[in-house]
Amino acid sequence: MIGRLMIHAKEAWRGAVDVAKLLCVLHVTNKYLVSPSLAMGPSMLPTMNITGDVVLCEKISPRLGKVGPGDIVLVRSPENPKKCLVKRVMGVEGDRVTYVADPKNDDNRYETAVVPKGHIWIQGDNIYASRDSRQFGAVPYGLLQAKVFYRVSLFLLH
């Protein structure tokens, strides 16, 4: 009887260790390699849906400095650190970025900014409905969380 209990206890222990290993792998994968995120809102129209898309974000490229103009990235908001933004990189340190200062105004006044060292310039694809570097300036590279590499449209899942 006791021998049988010991065998069951060993099997339960091995199962618990396997579950702990799996949870560790999932944590490391999510924290340091790849994680899903929900991109929602009008700022990235037409690239992403206003009703939301799930994006897969890899976290290695930003750590290696392999992010450049044209990439879509996940950035911690400089205005609200509890929030993450999905935007397109328009320039990296040293680049000159020309943008429409106030797209809602009909005068289409253009301004140019030089991206400072250690910063990136981000903008939403929908310049009429996006809070981005045009309002809060270049974003420190330290706020860059990940680079988007895959998008799943939630519209298709309905």
Whether 130 sits among the annotated catalytic residues: the reply is no
108 has a pLDDT exceeding 90: no
**Is residue 73 situated within a structural domain?**
yes
**Is residue 52 situated within a structural domain?**
yes
Positive or negative torsion for Cα 18, 21, 27, 28:
negative
Residues 126, 118: Cα–Cα separation, whole Å: 25
Cα 142 to chain center, whole Å? Answer: 13
pLDDT bucket at 155, cuts 50 / 70 / 90: low
**Is residue 93 situated within a structural domain?**
yes
**Is residue 140 situated within a structural domain?**
yes
Please give the pLDDT value at position 142.
95
CATH assignment of the domain containing 128: 2.10.109.10
**Is residue 30 situated within a structural domain?**
no
pLDDT bucket at 9, cuts 50 / 70 / 90: confident
Lowest mean pLDDT among 6-10, 59-63, 95-99, 145-149: 6-10
Cβ count within 10 A of residue 19: 10
Whether 104 sits among the annotated catalytic residues: the reply is no
88 has a pLDDT exceeding 80: yes
Please give the pLDDT value at position 126.
94
Please give the pLDDT value at position 103.
81
**Is residue 64 situated within a structural domain?**
yes
Phi and psi, residue 2, nearest 5°: -65, -35
Q: Which domain holds residue 133?
A: 35-157
What is the tally of structural domains in the chain?
Answer: 1
Please give the pLDDT value at position 34.
94
**Is residue 4 situated within a structural domain?**
no
pTM score, whole prediction: 0.85
> Residue range 14-43: average pLDDT?
92
**Is residue 54 situated within a structural domain?**
yes
Q: Which of 87, 130, 133, 147 is catalytic?
A: 87
pLDDT bucket at 105, cuts 50 / 70 / 90: confident
Q: Which of 43, 59, 133, 147 is catalytic?
A: 43
Which run of H or of E encompasses 144? strand 144-153
